[in-house]
Amino acid sequence: MQRKLLSPEREDLIVRALEAGMRTIAEFSAELGVSEATVRRDLQSLEATGRLRRVHGGAEPMTLDRRLEPLFNEKTSQMAAEKSRIAELALAQINDHDSIFLDGGSTVLALARHLNERRRLTVVTNSLSAAAELLETPHRLILLGGEFRPISRTLVGPLTAHLANELHINKAFMGTIGFSPAEGMSTTDPNEAYTKELIMRRADRVYLLADSSKIGVSSLVKSGTLADVDVLITEARLPQAVLHVLHKRKIEVITP
């Protein structure tokens, strides 16, 4: 049976223990003087509130504020399983010979890694990471030009418009830092936001790829509204309230 609430006392103990370097269930159990089953339930609670991340065998501390864009090479592994599952769902939306856009971000990057399962796509992207992934594939690759933003490894800003306006994109697969039903999408950089909006307005069909850590989060700059999105792909079970809003906006939701 799932518990209602974890006492803040033990919550502190666990978080403190985590910071001290403890990782395994056995360690926590010994430290807190409770059974392993209880530790697991504790970790379950803490994961639900986002204080830590559970893994087989124990737990690891959660990274800083998610509003700060993770440095690129850093935690692409965060939520890797979730991202990969989302990528598979997205892949199912792509047919051979489609002409698609790939946005920046690690979730979309996971999709790029799956594209060898399709034939002769035309892939437009502003992400150098995605491009690197596709260098050796037989797909046609078109890079959006523009100013390079090191932290996200994307090409962004007004210059991207000159090329984007010349292209016709069937399906755009977008990432985001935050997504909330009320505010829409948000990201950390105005130029990045500019390019995202530009692309979404030019694509026939816009897919937003967002793992559960993005839902309900707002970042600095608005980068598109709900009206810009046609389909939301996520691995999370969304709250009823969110689902209701999405349904009213005629946004399709794809989950595993």
Partner DNA sequence: AAAATAATTGCAAAATCTTGCAAAATACGT
Partner DNA sequence: ACGTATTTTGCAAGATTTTGCAATTATTTT
Q: Tell me 215's DSSP state.
A: B
Check if the beta carbon of residue 67 is closer than 8 Å to that of residue 50. no
If binding is defined by CB under 8 A, does position 117 make contact with a copy of itself?
A: no
Check if the beta carbon of residue 255 is closer than 8 Å to that of residue 236. yes
Question: Candidates 33-41, 79-87, 90-98, 215-223 — which segment interacts with a copy of itself by CB under 8 A?
Answer: 79-87
If binding is defined by CB under 7 A, does position 7 make contact with DNA?
A: yes
Residue 215 is encoded by which pair of tokens?
Answer: 């839902």
- In angstroms, what is the minimal distance from the CB of 11 to DNA? 11
The listed partner (a copy of itself, DNA, none) that binds 84, CB under 5 to 8 Å by sort, is a copy of itself
Beta pairing class for 169-174 and 99-102? parallel
If binding is defined by CB under 7 A, does position 58 make contact with DNA?
A: yes
If binding is defined by CB under 7 A, does position 136 make contact with DNA?
A: no
Residue with tokens 């996520």: 234
Residue 137 is encoded by which pair of tokens?
Answer: 């594939």
The listed partner (DNA, a copy of itself, none) that binds 162, CB under 5 to 8 Å by sort, is a copy of itself
Residue 175 exposed, middle or buried by CB count within 10 Å (0-12, 13-18, 19+): buried
Cα dihedral 19/25/26/29 (nearest 10): 80
Binding site for DNA (CB under 7 A): 1, 3-7, 10, 24-26, 34-38, 40-42, 44, 54-58
Binding site for a copy of itself (CB under 8 A): 4-5, 7-9, 11, 23, 45-46, 48-51, 55-58, 60, 64, 67-68, 76-77, 80-81, 84, 109-110, 113, 128-129, 131-133, 135-136, 140-148, 150, 153, 155, 159-160, 162-163, 165-167
